[in-house]
Copies of this chain bind each other. A is one copy, B any other.
Amino acid sequence: MSHPVVEFTSQSSWDLIEDKFTPFGKETLAKLVQFFKDEILPAQRLAHEQIPKDLELRWKTVVPVIEELKVKARKLGLWNLFLSKAHYPKYGVPLSNLEYAVMAEILGRGGHMASEALNCAAPDTGNMEVLARYGTPEQQKQWLEPLLDGKIRSAFAMTERFVASSDAKNIKTSIRREGNEIVINGHKWWISGAGDPRTKLHLVMGKSDPDNADSYRQQSVVIVPADAPGVKVIRPMEVFGYDDAPEGHCEVIYDNVRVPLSNLVLGWGRGFEIIQGRLGPGRIHHCMRSIGCASVALDLMIQRVTDPNRKTFGKFLYQHGTVISEIAQSRADIEAARLLVLSAAVQIDKHMAKGALKEIGIAKFVVPSMACTVVDRAMQAFGAEGLSQDQPLASAYAQLRTLRFADGPDAVHLQQIGQRELKRAPELHRRAAELKEKEKAVWEKAGMKARL
């Protein structure tokens, strides 16, 4: 009998990886699928409805149904699944990256609230990883543990306004020591989570040593309490008109914010190291969620084009134009993308994130773009309704579209993968020369002279 996950993914991808799952992994996955169907999906629209439309109130809201789900999820052991015991022995869950990747796809089918219900939502996930790996015992007690408990939320403040901050060397926020305090001044935006009333801390990246000859030692990261004087949340940024309250992606000014020295993370000048560590597995979780999201879009498209109420000129929508081909193409796109990401997850499990840069990079430029395309095809099948608040497609598209630059734009990943390939050139030239020698011998033996 098939594993329940097949209902939401595919038999063939499961057949390919099943033997890499532990019994615990399989069991957790089965529980997650059940919880997803029974509890998360039915609550999805309600969660959205429980966010007030009022422009002030919506930023002060803790969505009741999500809080209820969190209690249930934790009881079931569906909690902090992103945190791999192999890398975080103290706090982690015994799941491999591959195992969690499959779960992330399921969660991606339920939007942001699904991840939140299992305490697996960004940016908390990355922040918990940072604190679990680099935090002092005091920092862990004060900040990590309530995060792991799902009692507070957090923000990660890196992107800066007016600055091309995809190059970390451009960062302008100043982090300097004054006696026993650290003083932070900077202008950030797109700070996810900064709008949430439960957010208690910002991890802030800035320059502590801007003149250091080693440009990767100029940055530091500090913990800033969300309510510290000088932390000014200016406004929510919108993505295609969506503000994503209550979490939001906010513009934040740090105006002479002061925190104790003990809020420094890992050490002076180690900020770059911290963000590097933060990026690997998180990227493929994003990718898997995107695949889940694309799969939902395809399912909706199939429902729409087979809906007898949507017949035009006596035909189902699927009988028109290129709909069937588009559906087939979307299915192929999703299957290929999933295999790429699962393969990247296996690489991480076998060789750590550093040994999986190629696979992560490929997934990064292939998957969000693919998911946008699949969702776009579905929107087209729905007509105007597909762009509206009555379907989840347009807001999904908006989210997916941001992933084409979050953690580096597509172009950067394309360049990096292209450059990696170019590094194979010397070996290829060497092999070609070697082959030419062998070839000469074969031709001679055949009594002929090799050309060239």
A positions within 8 Å CB-CB of B: 11-13, 15-17, 19-20, 38, 41-43, 45-46, 49-50, 53-55, 64-65, 159, 162-164, 166-167, 169-170, 190, 237-243, 249, 298-299, 302-303, 305-306, 309-313, 317-318, 320-329, 331-332, 335-337, 339-340, 342-344, 346-347, 350, 356, 358-359, 362, 365-366, 379-380, 383-384, 387-390, 394-395, 397-398, 401-402, 404-406, 409-419, 421-422, 424-425, 428-429, 432, 435, 438-439, 441-443, 446, 448, 450-451
Contacts and interface: CB of A to CB of B under 8 A. Distances in A.
B394 A303 contact: no
16 contacts: A12-B358, A15-B343, A19-B19, A41-B438, A46-B448, A238-B388, A302-B425, A306-B422, A321-B322, A322-B325, A325-B414, A325-B418, A328-B417, A332-B365, A335-B359, A384-B406
B12 A347 contact: yes
- Chain A interface SS verdict (over half): helix
Nearest to A38: B438
Contacts of A306: 422, 425, 429
A204 B191 CA distance: 46
Given A43-B442, A54-B55, A388-B239, A347 B164 contact: no
Listed from nearest, the 7 A-B pairs whose CB atoms lie closest are A241-B241, A324-B418, A339-B339, A321-B411, A167-B312, A42-B438, A328-B418
Nearest to A432: B303
Nearest to A320: B411
Contacts of A446: 46, 50, 64-65
Given A12-B346, A302-B428, A312-B166, A240 B415 contact: no
Contact of A389 (B49, B238, B350, B402): B238
A324 B419 contact: yes
Nearest to A305: B422
Given A242-B241, A312-B166, A362-B332, A387 B411 contact: no
Given A411-B322, A418-B328, A432-B303, A162 B237 contact: no
B384 A422 contact: no
Contacts of A159: 384
Contacts of A358: 12
Contacts of A238: 241, 387-389, 394
A404 B329 CA distance: 15
Given A42-B438, A55-B55, A438-B41, A15 B405 contact: no
A102 to B, nearest CB: 14
A394 B240 contact: yes
Contacts of A303: 425, 428-429, 432
Given A320-B412, A387-B398, 5 more contacts: A12-B347, A303-B425, A328-B421, A332-B362, A332-B417
Given A409-B383, A428-B299, A442 B42 contact: yes
A313 B170 CA distance: 9
Contact of A435 (B41, B166, B415, B443): B41
A356 B448 CA distance: 48
Contact of A383 (B166, B324, B325, B418): B166
A170 B315 CA distance: 12
Contact of A409 (B356, B380, B401, B417): B380
A172 B287 CA distance: 43
Contacts of A397: 240
Given A166-B312, A387-B398, A343 B335 contact: yes
Contacts of A46: 439, 442-443, 446, 448, 450
B325 A336 contact: no
A331 to B, nearest CB: 5
Most B-side CB within 10 Å, residue of A163, A241, A441 = A241
A174 to B, nearest CB: 18
B415 A241 contact: no
A362 B335 contact: yes
Contacts of A441: 42
A12 B443 CA distance: 36
A29 to B, nearest CB: 18
A313 B343 CA distance: 31
B346 A384 contact: no
